[in-house]
Amino acid sequence: MTCSKKTVHLTILPEVNKGCGLPVPVNFIFVPLPPQIITLAVYRPTTMSADPITIFRKTWGTYQKVISNNLMFHKEISEAVAKRYETHSGQLRLLDLGCGDASHITNILKPGQLAEYCGCDLSPYALDDAGINLAPLGIPVTLLCRDMLAVLHEVDENHFDIVYSSYALHHLPVEAKQTFFTQCRRALSLDGCIILVDIMREEEQSRTEYLCHYNKTVRTQWQALTPDERNQVQEHIRSCDFPETPSTLETLARHAGFTRCRRLEKRTWHEAWCYEA
pLDDT by residue, tens only, the chain of 277 residues:
333 333 223 333 333 333 333 333 333 333 333 333 222 222 233 333 445 566 666 788 999 999 999 999 999 999 999 999 887 878 999 999 999 999 999 889 988 999 999 999 999 999 999 999 999 999 999 999 999 999 999 999 999 999 999 999 999 999 999 999 999 999 999 999 999 999 999 999 999 999 999 999 999 999 999 999 999 999 999 999 999 999 999 999 999 999 999 999 999 999 999 999 8
pLDDT number for residue 223: 97
Listed in sequence order, the residues at least 6 apart from 227 whose beta carbon sits closer than 8 Å to its beta carbon are none
- With vertex at residue 181, the alpha carbon angle to CA 22 and CA 165, rounded to the nearest 5 degrees, is 65
pLDDT number for residue 147: 95
pLDDT number for residue 52: 59
pLDDT digits (tens, 9 = 90+) for 50-62: 455 666 667 889 9
Other CB atoms within 10 Å distance of the CB of residue 25: 10
Q: Counting Cβ atoms within 10 Å, is residue 271 exposed (0-12), middle (13-18) or buried (19+)?
A: buried
Residue 70: C-alpha distances to residues 52, 73, 76, 222 (Å): 27, 5, 9, 10
Domain residue ranges in the chain: 3-276
Residue 80 to residue 124: CA distance in whole angstroms = 29
Q: Please give the radius of gyration of the chain, using alpha carbons only, rounded to the nearest integer.
A: 18
8 Å CB contact between 251 and 162: no
pLDDT number for residue 118: 98
Q: What is the mean pLDDT of the chain?
A: 84
pLDDT number for residue 259: 96
Helical (H) or strand (E) element with 276: strand 270-276
Residue 224 to residue 65: CA distance in whole angstroms = 8
pLDDT number for residue 33: 30
Residue 149 to residue 203: CA distance in whole angstroms = 26
pLDDT number for residue 126: 94
pLDDT number for residue 49: 40
Q: Counting Cβ atoms within 10 Å, is residue 129 exposed (0-12), middle (13-18) or buried (19+)?
A: middle
pLDDT number for residue 45: 33
In CATH terms, the fold of domain 3-276 is Rossmann fold (3.40.50)
